[in-house]
Structure 1
Amino acid sequence: MAYESVDKLQKVLAEEVFKHTKDPKKASGRALGTLVEIITYYLLKTWGLNNQISIERGLAEYGNPDITHNVEYSLHPIVRSSFLTIDKSEKSITSNIILKALQATGFDLTGFERKNNQLLSNNILRNACTIATSENSFLLCSIKSDEGRNLELHIYEQNRKPYAMFECKRVGVEEGMTKGPQTIEKAKQGAYVARMASSLQKIRCDVGEMQGIIYKSDGSYIIKPYVKLMEEIIFSSDKELLRRFILTIGIVSNHGNWIKKTSDGELSFSEEHFQKELMVLAQSYDWLLFLTDQGLSDFIDKLLLNPIPEFQFLRDTFLSSYKEDKKKNQFTKVQMNIEADRILLKYFKDNLKTVESWFNVISPSKKSLIDLNNELEELKNKNWKTIL
């Protein structure tokens, strides 16, 4: 690894990239959080979930819809989709331009309200771009291909009810401290949302075993060991079990906050070395993943700080987004330079096994990232039209 830890890397970023800011350490910490979100987003896209992803949607609590919580990413069933070819000579590809062209094809837009988003403006792409919303769905657009003078667009309608959600948690460690001061607050916040989102609820029995309970619409319920019941729901075709179920996935990073060092000063992912905060999250999310210091450092070192010529554009885009006189950030989960997007997608596709190795599965125990991918694929391919 190029850097001893993410905390050391944060210090390097503070000195080399953010020294012009009022608080370089905080600025570099926020940037690291953004990079964790970007890695997660492009992994999901590489897993074939581009059309299912929404960014920063409000997620209603199960049985308590008056309270919603914004989550980094949610995955939604696709209601319908269409394709368009648009001349890219326009300076900006706006939702208005897309909707007019879409309506001309006969696509029914009854009940939709236009959003003032730009899919593409000055070579900055809006990821998971929402162009319109209705009472029950979102209408999004992405670029399928970019050739010559034309853009081929993919327009897809997502059901408002997601079947999975992702949240990213990262807290920096202050000098001389063993973990970040906000770690427990972040853990409690994440745990609350994870426990409130889905119809599958966690309860603990007297001997400490984690059980799952899920209610059906007639008031009857099922209680079984949690992971067993979760798997039964995911691989079921029973709409009573699936209609309000949401698979919850948390992603944490920065070893110093979540993992205790061994007596030899090493970091170990064995459960006895988990900090209390990590245990709270592991017992709240259905899946908890750890983006390792090795993985985050590799991404930053190889693609952003010391890239080979093939990735130099990523470095330039990243640095330009954080320089003192920047006009617009073009290296975030929402806004990404279109060429940087192309390079990132190619890198993740060409190096998928390496990227996947950056993550450790904290819970469920004895499961792998392949299992999570399979579960998401299973949920994606459900016949949601008959379920919802």
Structure 2
Amino acid sequence: MAEIVIKNVAKSFGSFKALHSVDMTITDQEFMVLLGASGCGKTTLLRIIAGLETPTQGEVWIGGRRVDHLPPRQRGIAMVFQNYAVFPHLTVFENIAFGLRMQKLPHPEIERRVVRTAELMHIEQLLKRYSGQLSGGQRQRVAVARALAMEPDVILMDEPLSNLDALLRLEMRAELKGVLAESKTTTIYVTHDQVEAMSLADRISVMNGGRIVQNDTPVEIYRNPAARFVGSFIGNPPMNFIPAKRVGNGRWRVAGIEMDGPQIDRENIEFAIRPEDVESAGQGFSATVRVVEPLGAHTLVTCEVDGKPFRAVLDSDLRTAPGEILTLGPVAARVRWFDPDTQAAIAA
């Protein structure tokens, strides 16, 4: 069992508070992604779990054992860094075997683990090459193989694919997901790339300002953001937001049209819809087209609705041009509502 439990963990650097009382549980063999913009605290939290930073307060438990007082080597973890951290003067075999030799394992066991993990990462044909002769994607595979060879309880990954080009990232994402599922290793993966997060994670912890804003499955986070920040951060393009004014019990005026919404005693809330959840219709918002971007199967249209930018992902067969007026109808089941004061989602 390699369940990870974070209890009330906070971290301050002088007067700056990087983490605010974080609580979370990563279950055994789960792939958890910490997602957020630069400076949100995700790498600080990862380093605390790894033992590279000491929390100002709180506890870290791995596999039922409290570890926040232990050095990294005693925590049963392996880490994969953004810059690979492979040794260019060593062969691929020697790089993968490095940690095993530090543990003074017998040579047959070292060889067994190196060959097994090299095969998992499809680099067995590179074992005799020096890592300085490898491509970026190959060096990344070596770094992951070295971590897996340690047979850790937990693997921590800090933006491991950010230095690769787009095609290699796509290949490595699919490879990582399969390999880590096969190895049955609990994984925490830090990224600012929401595509990586959505495609890799069993669950995503969206972080902002040193706090976990929402912790849920990728689909739930995308479809039901718990806070306005999540809706504005997740999605490319992100959610559209329009002020809504109460006109009756459960009735709201949004950009000139009335619709059903939350039955709450407030005068103003916020309507939200994803760009792909609107359609060109006979009834809806009056939208003035500003920019048209053909994307192959779809067209991204940036409009102006109620004086604010509004994006719609429409069928590529729809022909439109800047200056034209479209009528955009929101798909009712996809509409979400937010409290403008607390930024929290409101149940419809």
Q: TM-score range, shorter-chain basis?
A: under 0.3
| Structure number having the greater helix percentage | 1
Query: Which structure's CA Rg is the greater one?
Result: 2
Q: Please, what TM-score do these two structures have when normalized by structure 1? A: 0.22
Which structure is higher in RCO with an 8 Å CA cutoff and minimum separation 6?
1
| Structure number having the greater strand percentage | 2
